[in-house]
């Protein structure tokens, strides 16, 4: 808990869309500082894995906690998550906190992306914690409340594929389809249809990024949302001058996640995602690989057409 939280900004337009416009100033401070859990909610930090700069590793919400889900007046379901609220089981050596400046930056960029018509997670509030956060220097601490259709990532599939049972994977795939792609729930092969829909969503997303000069900066598989929303605004930026080799991550020495390489990386990430579905597509592994490869091979033509 934080002793002296302060509201920096509250997105009243988003709150209205979510059906949360009734919240009082005290409730905004209590809930979105993490000082109080909404009645009936069971907050969780989510486990996932992922390929970071091409290398597989076990991950999880190191500084984020999912407060719960909100059903809007239009009957849409959203995750509400606090980012920067302290240590979790996945924090490793980190303190689980965030700087106020970085949370304000995510607020500004995610809302800019939304109003540019680009699918994105959104920001509901920024709270100053009243504590100091120690990085390269001393910063004010901050908490961002992030809103998403879900926080299910390619890396979530990687976690289930590698560390859970085949039955778990079936249950999980059914959950994702029911939540995000119910139109394919009765398909002959829902897993293969899921892959194709996710691929199209990702292609559309990357083309949207490219048209406005946006560089994500850390396109690790754990930063790719299966619902096709921009997520995890880290060292991201909009280019001021056109240069396909532009990078915005200080550790991206080889330009893996440069502006011009984003289409290639989403293709690579989709191959990783495809691999997680192989056990479910067919009982015959060779048949599964053949079917998913046929879908993945459509990437270039689909990308060109949408581009």
Q: Give the whole-angstrom CA distance, residue 104 versus residue 84.
A: 12
Closest CA to 152 of 49, 64, 225, 69: 225
Closest CA to 140 of 152, 149, 150, 130: 130
Angstrom CA distances, 145 to 113, 124, 307, stand at 16, 5, 33
**Catalytic site residue from 17, 61, 222, 252:** 222
17 is catalytic: no
Q: Give the whole-angstrom CA distance, residue 181 versus residue 199.
A: 13
Tell me the Cα Rg of the chain.
19
Q: Give the whole-angstrom CA distance, residue 178 versus residue 170.
A: 12
Angstrom CA distances, 189 to 33, 183, 196, 269, stand at 43, 12, 11, 22
Question: Crossing angle for the helix pair 166-180 and 190-211, nearest 10 degrees?
Answer: 60
Q: What angle do CA 270, 275, 279 make, to 5 degrees?
A: 140
Write out the catalytic residue numbers.
222
């Amino acid at each position: 808990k934080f002793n002296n939280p302060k509201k920096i900004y509250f997105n009243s337009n988003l709150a209205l869309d979510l059906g949360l416009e009734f919240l009082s100033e005290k409730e905004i401070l209590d809930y979105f500082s993490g000082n109080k859990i909404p009645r009936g909610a069971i907050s969780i930090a989510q486990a996932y894995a992922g390929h970071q700069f091409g290398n597989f590793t076990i991950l999880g919400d190191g500084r984020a906690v999912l407060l719960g889900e909100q059903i809007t007046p239009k009957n849409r379901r959203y995750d509400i998550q606090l980012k920067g609220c302290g240590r979790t089981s996945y924090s490793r050596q980190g303190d689980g906190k965030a700087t106020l400046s970085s949370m304000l930056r995510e607020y500004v960029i995610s809302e800019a992306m939304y109003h540019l018509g680009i699918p994105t997670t959104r920001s509901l509030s920024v709270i100053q914690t009243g504590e100091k956060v120690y990085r390269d220097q001393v910063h004010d601490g901050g908490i961002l409340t992030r809103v998403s259709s879900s926080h299910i990532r390619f890396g979530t599939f990687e976690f289930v594929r590698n560390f859970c049972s085949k039955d778990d994977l079936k249950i999980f795939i059914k959950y994702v389809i029911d939540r995000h792609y119910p139109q394919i729930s009765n398909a002959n092969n829902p897993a293969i249809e899921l892959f194709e829909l996710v691929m199209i969503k990702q292609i559309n997303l990357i083309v949207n990024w490219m048209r406005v000069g946006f560089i994500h900066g850390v396109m690790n598989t754990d930063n790719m949302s299966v619902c096709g929303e921009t997520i995890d605004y880290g060292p991201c930026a909009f280019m001021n001058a056109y240069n396909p080799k532009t990078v915005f991550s200080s550790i991206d020495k080889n330009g893996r996640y440069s502006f011009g390489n984003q289409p290639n990386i989403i293709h690579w990430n989709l191959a990783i995602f495809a691999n997680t579905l192989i056990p479910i597509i067919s009982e015959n592994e060779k048949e599964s690989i053949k079917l998913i490869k046929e879908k993945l091979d459509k990437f270039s033509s689909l990308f060109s057409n949408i581009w």
